[in-house]
């Protein structure tokens, strides 16, 4: 080996094959956003645009209305399966504020099944209006 020869890299990736870390993070963020959009469409169909806490009909709007549709993550967004229909429910602004701002409302359970709500000493359970068919689920995921 001459003094100017380059040593062997072994099994290391060649520079052309390497992907910048920022690009991988960006792809992961884009995939998470896509998963969230799909889950939101499925949740809105499953919950029939009704608040799962109080049953109020919901609307999509940019205004600060109490009947505005909001998506609540039961276990938070930092959990591994955060962007699934099991973890997201439709709630009105009033119920969402009771959960996050005043912390008077507690929501736990499974978004696709039975939810447990608690406000003070009052406890109640809710079920989704109707389960989604396989065709509806595939159609929403294709969007």
Express each pLDDT in 91-143 by its tens digit: 999 999 999 999 999 999 998 889 999 998 999 998 877 766 777 767 666 65
Say if 38 falls within a structural domain. Answer: yes
Q: Are the CB atoms for 53 and 74 separated by under 8 Å? A: no
The tally of domains found in the chain comes to 1
What tokens were used for 13?
């990736």
Q: Are the CB atoms for 71 and 40 separated by under 8 Å? A: yes
Q: Which residue has the tokens 């799962």?
A: 52
> Which residues span the domain enclosing 46?
26-142
pLDDT of residue 19: 61
Say if 136 falls within a structural domain. Answer: yes
Helix (H, G, I), strand (E, B) or coil at 59: strand
pLDDT of residue 93: 92
Say if 125 falls within a structural domain. Answer: yes
pLDDT digits (tens, 9 = 90+) for 17-60: 666 666 777 888 888 888 889 999 999 999 988 999 988 899 88
Say if 75 falls within a structural domain. Answer: yes
Say if 7 falls within a structural domain. Answer: no
Q: Which residue has the tokens 């159609």?
A: 139
Say if 85 falls within a structural domain. Answer: yes
Say if 16 falls within a structural domain. Answer: no
- Answer whether 0.85 is exceeded by the pTM: no
Say if 20 falls within a structural domain. Answer: no
């Amino acid at each position: 080996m001459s003094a100017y020869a380059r040593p062997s890299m072994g099994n290391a990736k060649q520079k052309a094959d390497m992907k910048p870390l920022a690009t991988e993070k960006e792809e992961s963020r884009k995939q998470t956003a896509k998963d969230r959009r799909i889950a939101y469409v499925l949740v809105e169909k499953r919950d029939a645009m009704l608040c799962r806490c109080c049953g109020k009909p919901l609307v999509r709007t940019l205004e600060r209305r109490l009947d505005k549709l909001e998506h609540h993550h039961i276990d938070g967004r930092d959990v591994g399966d955060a962007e699934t229909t099991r973890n997201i429910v439709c709630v009105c602004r009033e119920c969402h504020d009771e959960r996050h701002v005043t912390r008077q409302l507690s929501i736990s359970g499974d978004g696709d099944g039975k939810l447990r709500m608690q406000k003070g000493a009052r406890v109640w359970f809710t079920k989704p209006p109707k389960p989604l068919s396989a065709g509806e689920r595939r159609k929403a995921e294709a969007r």
